[in-house]
Amino acid sequence: MCMLQSYKYRIYPNKEQETLIWKHFGACRFVFNWSLEQKIKAYELTGASLSCYTLNKMLPGLKNDYPWLKEVNSQSLQQANINLDTAFTKFFREKKGFPQFKSKKNPVQSFQIPQHCTVDFVNGVMSLPKIKGIKTIFHRFFEGTIKTVTVSVTTTKKYFVSILVDDGKEQPSKQPFDSSNTVGIDVGISSFAVLSTGEKVDNPKYLRNSEARLKVLQRRLSRKKKGSKNFQKTKQKVAKQHEMIANQRSDFLNKLSCKIVSENQAIAIEDLNVSGMLKNHCLAKSISDCSWSEFFRMLTYKAARVGKTILKIGRYVPSSKTCSVCDNINSDLSLSDREWSCSNCHTHHDRDVNAAINIKKFALQEQNLIGIYTG
């Protein structure tokens, strides 16, 4: 299996290119919403489901009704239907939620291009169908075949391209591991991650630390007349503050995941029901600020690149309540107990370190595994 890798670059379109990009955003959003409406109507009337191929065959007729659709790349419109088909597949197979109509009021917009995209690293430009010579900052180079290009805009009006590349290299084979080169990770709120080695990684709490500034900006925004220029300026300041928090968190997660993957042959983690935890309104903000799911996602794809292994144990394994020395279970342990002593062997435990050790121990026992991820 060949490896696919994504490279994200910032682009600086001129006024004409920016206009074409926004036409693509609008046209792809329109086709997505139109196709979703057709699928809903067809199911209500006949009980049949329209495939993306059927919807793509209907696009020429749609272009005759709406001539402005001819101004954008036709393959981007077809890709919108493919994305809709993927959304329905996730709805039926993974219960991800029914596809929703896209709004033009959403500040984050994107479209995809599957072919005919070229990059010029020397001159720092990228060319797309209908949009040629876009100034691009190539902070790193790549070799391989471009599969798809996704153009997006953020809430702060910054434009990016994400290039999916097939480098033609085979995925590295799985490296052997044992207890000596496997690490268990227990994630939490007070400490972001605790390793089975006893190392604790502090939680940076980027959102909590920026709340004071956010409150000031949001208070100013609430006092502005909605739709005015001052309202838009203040809204951009709020968006920039949120973007800074997201960038800080992403940088922290990337560096920590790289460090853990490079130092270990196998990584044991717990299958957490994060969406269920977020229903606890006392802890929801702190849990969201941690981004555990994103951290596990980074660990998984980075481990796959270098042939490392991710071991995942079930969410109902009593990793915190089990003594890592004698396997005695302390059923009276509550969430507020950060330290406890085993009633059987009298070993004094740090709750989080003990949980990390148990996660590693349980992961190395095959009967506790729910998944082994190698890419």
Q: Are residues 102 and 193 in the same domain?
A: no
Q: Are residues 51 and 111 in the same domain?
A: yes
Residue 343 domain boundaries: 179-207+254-373
242 in any annotated domain: no
- Among the options 71, 243, 352, 366, which is catalytic? 352
186 carries an active-site annotation: yes
The strand pair at 266-270 and 182-187 is best described as parallel
The H or E element that residue 15 is part of is helix 15-46
271 in any annotated domain: yes
How big is the chain, counted in residues? 375
Outline where DSSP puts E strands in 158-308: 159-170, 182-187, 191-195, 200-202, 266-270
Which phi and psi angles does 217 have, rounded to 5°? Answer: -65, -40
- What is the distance in angstroms between the CA of the first residue and the CA of the last residue of the chain? 10
56 in any annotated domain: yes
CA angle 248, 251, 255 (to 5 degrees): 145
Number of domains the chain is built from: 2
- Among the options 270, 271, 339, 366, which is catalytic? 270
233 in any annotated domain: no
Query: What would the two tokens of residue 311 be?
Result: 């071991």
CB atoms within 10 A of CB 342: 19
pLDDT (tens digit, 0 to 9) for every residue of the chain, 375 residues total? Answer: 567 899 999 999 999 999 999 999 999 999 999 999 999 999 999 888 899 999 999 999 999 999 999 999 999 999 999 999 999 999 988 888 899 999 999 989 999 999 999 999 999 999 999 999 999 999 999 998 999 999 999 999 999 999 999 988 888 888 888 888 999 999 999 899 999 999 999 999 999 999 999 999 999 999 999 989 999 999 999 999 999 999 999 999 999 999 999 999 999 999 888 888 888 888 899 999 999 999 999 999 999 889 999 999 888 888 888 888 888 888 888 888 888 888 888 888 888 999 999 999 988 886 566 666 544
- Among the options 166, 170, 186, 251, which is catalytic? 186
Distance CA 375, CA 373 (A): 6
Q: Are residues 323 and 302 in the same domain?
A: yes
Rg (CA), the chain: 25
Q: What is the pTM of this model?
A: 0.88
- Burial (CB < 10 A; 0-12, 13-18, 19+), residue 291, is buried
Q: Are residues 42 and 187 in the same domain?
A: no
